[in-house]
Structure 1
Amino acid sequence: MSNFAIGDQDFLLDDQPFRILSGAIHYFRVHPDLWADRIHKARLMGLNTIETYVPWNEHSPVPGAFVADGGLDLGRFLDLVADAGMRAIVRPGPYICAEWDNGGLPAWLFTDPTVGVRSSEPGYLAAVTSYMESVLALVVPRQITRGGPVIMFQIENEYGAYGKDKEYLQHLVDLSKRSGVDVPLFTCDQPFGTMIEDGSLPELHKTGTFGSRSLERLDFLRERQPTGPLMCAEFWNGWFDNWGTHHHTTDAAASAAELDALLTAGASVNIYMFHGGTNFGFSNGANDKGIYEPTITSYDYDAPLSEDGHPTAKYFAFRDVIAKHFPVPAEVPAPRAPVPASVAAVSSTAPVLTAVSTSLVRGTVPPVEVTGHYRGFYLYEASLPGGGVLSFTEVRDRAQFFLDGVPVGVLSRELGERSIVIPAGGRPQILLEDQGRVNYGQRIGEAKGLMGPALLNGVEVVDWEVGAVDLGSLEAFRASAVALPRGAASAGVAGPSVSFATFDAAGPGDRFLRLEGWTKGVVFVNGFNLGRYWSRGPQRTLYVPGPLIREGANELAILELHGSATREVGFAVGPDLGPDEK
């Protein structure tokens, strides 16, 4: 057994000074069969610690549940860190930001309007307690004091940017200690204003989050914490992307110089991200600082290790810097080898609008949470007395309007659109896409869907049929799919629909799916939801983790919302995340 403590100037591992050289890997953004590979490559860069968030909403998709197997097996992930001879830092939130849906907070929690957000409100604290106890049951036995890898445990996350409810923070501290946490507890906040003080408690070790002007940020932190080791708990070496902009990159040499300054100053560091991974399924978050901006599927982050797990120029620049200060293994990861390009064609398709079961909700138009589903697509239907201007208070986040199955138009939250002209006659249907819940700021926890009242020519429309598009299994779509008529590949497919293709493979191996000529939707490989695609970019390929591919025939399913100019999809030789700002 070992011990880990905070000394006057250093972290202490078994009473000896220890510098934390950590890299962020989110186990929930990486296929579990690839965890060991990513951890190993972190060690080869010279790191000695792996840090991860824990996403509450992923582990608890419905009230009372805590899923911790497969891709959510936090215990196995931490065991693999230990197997690699590395330490671990766990950051369980309960709020994580991370450009993750709702910042990691479960949407079901806020269906009760009395429940608070990141506060000492009793309903919120009760739910947090249940969640934290489940996480701690996995983490406490894996602390370094019990023979495991965990050396530190975070309380909340950049809380000073949101609030300063000390009773809430104290509840998290007391709960952690009562459950057996005996490694150091810490907080992280941005080194600006009063955030560091507001987001912490006197007994907690304070760390900073920043990506530039390192010495200045460390001085700011030292002023507010005269003793103890300095640490940048999130060294931002890249950035995330949202739909409709460029692919963000940061200069490898400039980032390496900042890292060198940090290490030369004697500070510890957690590189955010070392390996970003992917926002599979509907897990991406969004930002809203006046304009709603959903995050793309790739979380490559321009990190040292790419989305598909290969070293970049930044990897080797960081490795060289670390080698100036600490021993680094001689082994280096191999570069990416191009994969064969190929093409597959969809051969059958099933409509979406007729496949959704809806239920009547009396009164004003409801949010989608009434369905008991908290991500993805939803269908609204209503009887209108005639045509005219149909308007809403807000659309969250993107609504496609149909009349007897014929497209009428789209309302987009991103563009601030709220009203549409509906022709008379026929039954309107509205396909609503939750494009990702806001993960930062005061709009965390907000409802999704059509925000009422819904007005037709100024008169409220009530009594709506609402249902969720069930994509947990594609079996219903497979059963109803019909063969596409014979014709050229350029015949395309109409949306909204789920179309199926088959492709052969020699066995497992990474692929990069390119949907040139398709418009917007999501893709499944052998039933696994890879995430969203959108022709507006910047992202041009979707990463297909190798373990998803099996020898022989594989199934590709594409939920296309609008329509395609082709029936073909391509597998590219490598990733294409779009043009950067240079």
Structure 2
Amino acid sequence: MPTFEIGAEAFLLDGRPHQVVSGALHYFRVHPDLWADRIRKARLMGLNTIETYVAWNFHSGRPGEFRTDGARDLGRFLDLVAAEGMHAIVRPGPYICAEWDNGGLPAWLFADGSVGVRTAEPRFLAAVADYYAQLLPVVAQRQITRGGPVLLVQLENEYGAYGDSTDYLTRLEGLIRSNGIEVPLITCDQADDEMLTRGGLPHVHRTATFGSRTTERLETLRRHQPTGPLMCMEFWNGWFDSWGEHHHTATAQQNASDLDALLAAGGSVNFYMFHGGTNFGFTNGANDKGTYWPITTSYDYDAPLSEHGAVTPKYLAFREVISRYVPVPDELPAPPPPGPELTVDLDRTVPLADVLDLLGEEQTHDHLPTHDELGRWSGFVVYETDVAADDAVVSFAEVRDRAVAQLDGQPLGVLSRSEGSRSLTLPDRAGRLRLLVEDQGRVNYGRRLGEAKGLLGPARTARRTIDAWRTRGLDLDEVSPALATALDGGSVGVGPVPGTTFASGRFDTVAGRDHFLRLDGWTRGLVWLNGTLLGRFSAQGPTRTMYVPGPLVRDAHNHLVVLELQGAEHGTVRFVAEPDLGHTER
């Protein structure tokens, strides 16, 4: 049986020195029908290993649930890695960051506010133990020691940037080993003395994360890992995007130079990212270091392999550097065909208010509840209450993260966490106040992990506190058959689309072909194709197109649905030939 060990100077594969040349490819950000294509293109760039995080909340969306079907079939993903003749590194968290909702931690775990976060707190460890008991057997049976592809498993993730509990890390190590993991364990932290000290255990191999100043970073790592191979577990060859910012890029030339220095020093590498993929649905995370910035639907990351699987100049530059150190196949991936170009009229419109009964049940409360109290771990909740003519204004302690307000169906304004707006002026009349509150993504890094979403009280007017509320969590993860029928029966016509309105239409195209959707003239909202929630869009940018994976597209009667939250100039959208990820700093 093959072996993989950490030697005195190098990784040892079957007893021989082995340089790991790996790339991050998150199965949960790629349509499962495209996994094999992306893995193959990794091998053709010269990689010998695929690394993936495991997003706990992707498998456990609600308490008592653990799914490994379809897009959650980690076992199938690892088997495809093996079929391509490659190895694998698995990083199961429990925390992953990854610009993913709540850093991969299930929101339901922290709903009562008393469970510890990334500590040895008993209930947190008990939940992790249950998670590992369901996940790690999938990994264990695919270890290299059992004829599979898995070489390494990570113990926590950049823990030195968050805590310093060796007890917590030791407990995690025990849980991992007790679930059959035999391959070497690693930790990774930024190439910073303090973080590398705080984030590891003496007997667990340390790796570092960085994207530049290679020689200096390796020297820092060597101070904390005196023997054994040096590895950059996250070679940052790009960066993520947030709504309202520019599209981040890094030059292929500089990236390649830094990579050359790393490989020439004998170091092993894991590109973060080799292929970024997409934050489908409500899966994007957010950052909050004083200002709240939700992550875009596109997770292209300026990676060597683009969001839609195309070879980039960075791919070619990396391939050339890699070829100096390890064998690289002669074959290059063929370029994907351009997306079909067509215009689609979304000629049926239905106000969200008209279909609320199809999306969730109303509940009544004697206080202002959070989304978490309602068991809504992502997406939207409708809040309603009655206001009087002399209430004058309504304000909230916090808004997490955005609320579109109406009085008796008439627009009042928007409350926004990013903009710091928490108050609305009310008309001089009584009526029904409705707020459509959006969780725009849970914070994925830092001390705000596990925080509640929704409206946080107290809710006050000029003369009183509002305690009587009605709520309705909206099931928007897919377009149900009942909702599709209602949308097909909507008002007919192509014109301006008011806020909080569904607009839908049907179109024919090339089945199985990737598409790129432009929503010029639309403001912000959600998009579904054939019932699947593609994700969020926003005129803030930077991204100007949405990636539509070919496996979702059929030849006839494709059903496109947009929920516009603020208002659109017209009811027309376009599919274009190429993606447009927006403006850059240069």
TM-score range, shorter chain: over 0.9
TM-superposition CA deviations, 1:354-386 (whole Å, max 9, x none)? 433454443331101222221111100012233
Query: Bigger shift: 111-120 or 382-391?
Result: 382-391
Alignment of 1:337-486 (within 5 A): 337-356=337-356, 357-386=360-389, 387-423=391-427, 424-457=429-462, 459-474=464-479, 475-481=481-487
Q: Corresponding residue for 2:198?
A: 198
- Tell me whether 1:541 sits opposite 2:515 in the alignment: no
2:70 is equivalent to residue 65 of structure 1: no
- Partner residue in 2 for 1:331: 331
Aligned residues of 1:358 and 1:379 also touching (Cα < 8 A)? no
Bigger mean CA offset, 197-206 vs 309-318: 197-206
Aligned residues: 580
**Partner in structure 2 of residue 211 of structure 1:** 211
What does residue 119 of structure 2 align with?
119
Structure 2 counterpart of 1:563, from 567, 572, 575: 567
Q: Secondary structure at the match of 1:512?
A: strand
CA distance in 2, matches of 1:336, 1:471: 31
* CA distance in structure 2 between the aligned counterparts of 1:382 and 1:506, rounded to whole angstroms: 47
Query: Match for 1:427: what amino acid?
Result: R
CA drift of 1:246 comes to 0.8
Q: Is the 8 A contact 1:477 1:498 kept in 2?
A: no
Structure 2 counterpart SS, 1:118: coil
Cα distance in 2 between the residues matched to 1:85 and 1:400: 51
CA distance in 2, matches of 1:486, 1:326: 61
CA distance in 1, matches of 2:530, 2:197: 49
Alignment deviations for residues 466-518 of structure 1 (CA, whole Å, 9 cap, x no partner): 1111114423432333656565x4x2222212221101023211000111111
In structure 1, C-alpha distance between the alignment counterparts of 2:255 and 2:79, rounded to whole Å: 31
Cα deviation per residue 1:274-306 (whole Å; 9 max; x = unaligned)? 000000001000000000000000000000000
2:517 counterpart of 1:513: yes
Would the aligned equivalents of 1:349 and 1:481 in 2 still touch at CA under 8 Å?
yes
Q: 1:132 Cα shift?
A: 1.2
Deviations 1:293-336 (A, max 9, x none): 00000000000000000110000000000011111100001224
Per the alignment, residue 9 of structure 1 pairs with: 9
Q: Equivalent residue for 1:321?
A: 321
Contact kept in structure 2, 1:347 and 1:483, CA below 8 Å: no
In 2, Cα distance between equivalents of 1:428 and 1:554: 36
Evaluate the alpha carbon distance shift between residue 483 and residue 208 of structure 1 in structure 2; reply closer, same or farther with a 3 A threshold: same
1-side partners of 2:504 and 2:311: how far apart? 34
Name the CA distance, whole Å, in 2 between partners of 1:130 and 1:577. Answer: 40
Letter in 1 for 2:233: A
For 1:248-263, list aligned pairs within 5 A: 248-263=248-263
Q: Which amino acid aligns with 1:43?
A: R
**Letter in structure 2 aligned against 1:540:** R
Deviation per residue, 1:102-151 (Å, 9 max, x gap): 00001101112210000000111111111111110100000000000000
Secondary structure of 2:170's partner?
Answer: helix
Name the SS for the 1:465 alignment partner: strand
**Partners of 1:350 and 1:477 within 8 A in 2:** no
1:408-461 deviation per Cα after TM superposition (whole angstroms, max 9, x unaligned): 000110011111111222100000011000000000100001111001115211
1:171 alignment partner AA = R
The farther-off stretch of 105-114 and 364-373 is: 364-373
Question: 1:519 offset after TM fit, Å?
Answer: 1.0
Q: Is the 8 A contact 2:340 2:509 kept in 1?
A: no
Counterpart of 1:550, as a letter, is R
After TM superposition, the score normalised by the length of structure 2 is 0.97
In the TM superposition, residue 167 of structure 1 has moved relative to its aligned partner by 1.4
In 1, are the aligned partners of 2:281 and 2:477 still within 8 Å (CA)?
A: no
Three-state SS of the structure 2 residue aligned to 1:24 is strand
Distance (whole Å) between structure 2 residues aligned to residue 473 and residue 253 of structure 1: 42
Give the Cα–Cα distance (whole angstroms) in 1 for the partners of residues 571 and 362 of structure 2: 34
Question: Which residue of the partner structure matches residue 241 of structure 2?
Answer: 241
Q: Is the 8 A contact 1:364 1:454 kept in 2?
A: no
One of 487, 497, 503 as aligned partner of 1:499: 503
Structure-1 separation of matches of 2:555 and 2:348:
22
Match of 1:577 in 2: 581
Structure-2 separation of matches of 1:226 and 1:498? 60
- For residue 402 of structure 1, give the secondary structure of its aligned residue in structure 2: strand
550-559 or 28-37: bigger deviation: 550-559
The answer to whether residue 168 in structure 2 is matched with residue 162 in structure 1 is: no
The letter of the residue matching 1:499 is A
In the other structure, the counterpart of 2:37 is: 37
Q: Aligned partners of 1:463, 1:451: CA distance in 2, in Å?
A: 14
SS at match of 1:447: coil
Q: Pick which of 367-376 and 279-288 moved more.
A: 367-376
Aligned to 2:295: 295
Deviation at 1:556, TM superposition (A): 0.6
Distance in 1 (CA, whole Å) between partners of 2:350 and 2:459 is 30
Give 1:569 deviation, angstroms: 0.8
2-structure distance, mates of 1:390, 1:233: 49
Q: What does 1:270-309 correspond to in 2, within 5 Å?
A: 270-309=270-309
Q: Retained in 2: the 8 A contact 1:495–1:561?
A: yes
Please tell me the residue identity of whatever aligns with 2:330. A
- Once residues 393 and 193 of structure 1 are traced to their aligned partners in structure 2, the CA distance between those partners, rounded to angstroms, is 39
CA distance in 1, matches of 2:556, 2:387: 51
Instruction: Tell me how far apart the structure 1 counterparts of residues 129 and 339 of structure 2 sit (CA, whole Å).
Output: 47
- The CA deviation string for residues 189-237 of structure 1, in whole angstroms up to 9 with x for no partner, is 0111311121111110000000010110100010111101000000000
Which whole-Å CA distance do the structure 1 matches of 2:304 and 2:575 have between them?
Answer: 24
Range moving further from structure 2, 383-392 or 18-27: 383-392
Matched to 1:214, the amino acid is T
1:176-195 matches, cutoff 5 A: 176-195=176-195
Q: Which amino acid letter does the alignment assign opposite residue 362 of structure 1?
A: H
Determine the structure 2 residue equivalent to 1:56: 56
| RMSD (Å) for aligned C-alpha atoms | 1.3
Separation in structure 1 between the aligned mates of residue 339 and residue 453 of structure 2, nearest angstrom: 40
Q: CA separation in 2, counterparts of 1:182 and 1:463?
A: 55
Aligned amino acid, residue 381 of structure 1? E
Bigger shift: residues 55-64 or 333-342: 333-342
- Equivalent position of 2:98 in the other structure: 98
One-letter amino acid of the structure 2 residue matched with residue 105 of structure 1 = L
1:556 is matched by which residue type in structure 2? L
Distance 1:361 1:193, change over 3 A: farther
Q: 2: distance between equivalents of 1:280 and 1:125?
A: 29
Q: Give the gaps of 5 or more residues in structure 1.
A: none
Given that 1:45 and 1:316 are in contact with CA atoms closer than 8 Å, whether structure 2 keeps it comes out as yes
Cα contact 2:20–2:49 (8 A) shared by 1: yes
Q: Which amino acid aligns with 2:506?
A: T
Instruction: Give a deviation string over 1:74-106, Cα, whole Å, max 9, x none.
Output: 000000000000000000000000000000001
For the residue of structure 1 that corresponds to 2:497, the secondary structure is coil
Deviation, 1:462, is 0.1
Identity %: 56
CA contact (8 A) 2:82 2:149 kept: yes
Instruction: Give how far 1:32 is off.
Output: 0.3
